[in-house]
Structure 1
Amino acid sequence: MPGANGRATQADVARVAGVSQATVSLILNGGDTGRRRAGEQTRRRVLDAIRMTGYVANPAAQRLAGGRTRIIGVFTYEPVFPRDSRDFYHPFLVGVEAQTEELGCDLLFFTSTPSREGRRLLGGGFRRLGIADGCVLLGRHDDKRDLADLLSRDFPFAFIGRRESDAGTVPYVGADYVTATREVVERLFALGHERVGFVGDLRRDEPSVDRAQGYHQAVRAAGSRPVVLNGTGLTGGEALDLIGETGLTAAVVWPSGLAPDIRAAALARGKSVPGDLSLAQLGDVEDGSPDDIDWTGFRIPREQMGAAAVRLLFEQLVSPTLLPADALRRSLPCTIVPGATTGAPARTRSRSGGGGVR
């Protein structure tokens, strides 16, 4: 029954089903219109022939024979395949893989889409996504045009990380950075710090906005005045200078990779952390730094987010109706880490606000 190379062909399917090869092609590739034109009885004969011959030459045949491909796509806006086990994205992918395996599905990474300045874009790659039943998207720097285009298509997807779009509700599983940041800053005020600064990325992407919101909530609740310092592109020493100029005794830092640089600069100047300056990270270090310091801050539930994104995607695939907007937006709590890089402010500091680190 199979051809000379041992693999069944469309011609084999047509011969077993008693139809023309054109009819087989129409049913496999013609979508709903093709199936209606061929008729239900003919369609069933072709599906029976597919099972008998073992014809699985393309994903369309697998969809018809098994309902879906049971392939879940993964698209990343930045190269995120782990370089080692400390890689920031590694736990996300562990969660994605484990949940996909549990659901009895396969993973397919999409890497051939257009790239610009080190960032991948879906661009014209939407047709390729159709190989999979749906897709999990990952990466800090997304593209709003991609999201709008995806929302306009009948294609299930889920983003790892909160994402918003003017075009509609983006299905996502995010981390509750607002609550986690607020709790970290509240702990610093509880230690006796009168002013706590925010040092870091002031861009308007969702992860940065959420952290800034949590910071401002805590500062307002403490009756203090916010001190927001743009740390983008600064060295640790430059950031430390800004902290000293504002008289701060404590600061929360985002992205987290800047915190070790600030600490190193303080130590180089004979200052101690947390003796002279309390520092907290707003999340996990992204560069896989081997630094073994017990940082105050919070841990992102990365593995759980990856798994939950796959479950959200799968729910969209099996649900007979569209999920409500609230069900498409999910947030997981972060784990607060008391750490050893924060403490009570030094007793010798001036209560007037002018005695910060210098």
Structure 2
Amino acid sequence: MSGTRRRVTQRDIARISGVSQATVSLVLNNRLDAGVRIAPETRERVLDAIRSTGYVADPVARRLADRYNRIVGVFTYEPVFPSGTRDFYHPFLVGIEESAERLGCDLLLLTSAPVQDGRRRIFAEGSRIRLADGCVLLGRDLDRGDLTRLLAEGIPFVSVGRRDDAGGPVPYVGADYPAATAALVRRAAALGHTGVAYIGSGAGPESFADRLRGFNAAAAGLDARHLPEAVPAALDAAVAEGVTALFLEEPADAPAVTAWARAKGLDIPSDLSLVALGDPTRPVSFDLDVTGFTIPRREMGRQALDVFGALLEDAETDTQRLLPCELHDGTTLTGRNRP
């Protein structure tokens, strides 16, 4: 037998037996808890594939069950419990908790990290990150130095949200903001809007840059502009120059933009259309059903734990995932009724 023959993996067993890799893992670990039910014929099919291939679980691939504490750290760069942000972060945490329960892991919320230069630091003196088997990272803007060190030291981690490379590919589960934003720009163009504006920084966190990239790609050929802030002077100039649809990077700015429009005698949407690029990151009170998209926050949390578990087990999986956003029709994007 050649010494270079590829080792049979759980992924191979899943393909041969026609089940998911998660099912193979459950059969191997004899997991019947948490309400998991595997049909006897399915279990036998997996066992037959194991016997026929001579599959032997690599001890390294069993680390989650046999060598680790089964504790997943959750590190947040921003507070997630104050009233100003809890509604935005709550679905992420629910998804993380659901997957942790299914994987049989406990969650450790890493709250003792001190704030340095206005930000929490994972590797500050006294950090307890190594109490956990690794961590899931939450936050709009992650520290690149932390990401680089996590990769360099081989600490298993997954970011909730797409992240640029930091000395190597960063494992993440993010939202496909470019595709969702581009779809809404194309919808506006199809409704007759030729003047469009993106309101927001479009820089800094990857989520902002992704939205602006999607906007620019779809707005090619339109009279498109970028307004870094939703300030009255900039909005006045944009509308005077023919902008008829505004795309908000921060949906929580919608009430302020609407108040400005009403003060100018502009009706939304007949005079000016409004599109929200995601979910508000702070609570807002609003009387319009804003057109836009919703972020798959709960599913992002769920899959972040799935990727984390795969990293611990050395299982083959896609460690960089972008999930589709769901477009929301709303009532604030309509066709042009005037030239």
Measured against the shorter chain, the TM-score band is 0.7 to 0.9
What does residue 200 of structure 1 align with?
200
Q: Which sections of structure 2, spanning at least 5 residues, go unmatched?
A: 1-62
* Mapping 1:282-301, distance limit 5 Å: 282-301=277-296
The Cα shift of 1:289 comes to 1.3
Tell me if 1:330 matches 2:317: no
Aligned-partner residue type, residue 315 of structure 1: A
The Cα shift of 1:66 comes to 5.1
Distance 1:126 1:158 in 2: 22
Give % identity.
Answer: 45
Tell me if 1:345 matches 2:332: no
Distance 2:288 2:155 in 1: 44
* Paired residues of 2:275 and 2:291 also in contact (CA < 8 A): yes
Q: Could you report, residue by residue, the CA deviation over 1:187-211 in whole angstroms, capped at 9, with x for unpaired residues?
A: 1001111121111123242111111
* Mapping 1:176-325, distance limit 5 Å: 176-220=176-220, 223-231=221-229, 234-235=230-231, 237-319=232-314
The Cα shift of 1:319 comes to 1.8
The Cα shift of 1:239 comes to 4.6
* Paired residues of 1:239 and 1:262 also in contact (CA < 8 A): no
RMSD: 2.3
Aligned-partner residue type, residue 329 of structure 2: P
* Paired residues of 2:79 and 2:85 also in contact (CA < 8 A): no
* Paired residues of 2:147 and 2:166 also in contact (CA < 8 A): no
The Cα shift of 1:64 comes to 12
> CA 1:289–1:271 in structure 2 vs 1: closer, same or farther (change >3 Å)?
same
> CA 1:82–1:98 in structure 2 vs 1: closer, same or farther (change >3 Å)?
farther
The Cα shift of 1:150 comes to 0.7
What does residue 99 of structure 1 align with?
99
Tell me if 1:163 matches 2:163: yes
What does residue 57 of structure 1 align with?
none
SS at match of 2:128: helix
> CA 1:277–1:241 in structure 2 vs 1: closer, same or farther (change >3 Å)?
same
Aligned-partner residue type, residue 227 of structure 1: R
Aligned residue pairs total 277
Distance 1:258 1:84 in 2: 14
Distance 2:144 2:234 in 1: 31
Q: TM-score, normalised by structure 1?
A: 0.72
Aligned-partner residue type, residue 283 of structure 2: G
The Cα shift of 1:186 comes to 0.5
The Cα shift of 1:268 comes to 2.6
SS at match of 2:283: coil
Distance 1:117 1:83 in 2: 23
* Paired residues of 1:297 and 1:336 also in contact (CA < 8 A): yes
The Cα shift of 1:258 comes to 1.7
Aligned-partner residue type, residue 330 of structure 1: R
Q: TM-score, normalised by structure 2?
A: 0.76
What does residue 140 of structure 1 align with?
140
Distance 2:246 2:150 in 1: 39
The Cα shift of 1:240 comes to 2.7
Tell me which structure has the larger Cα radius of gyration.
1
What does residue 38 of structure 2 align with?
none
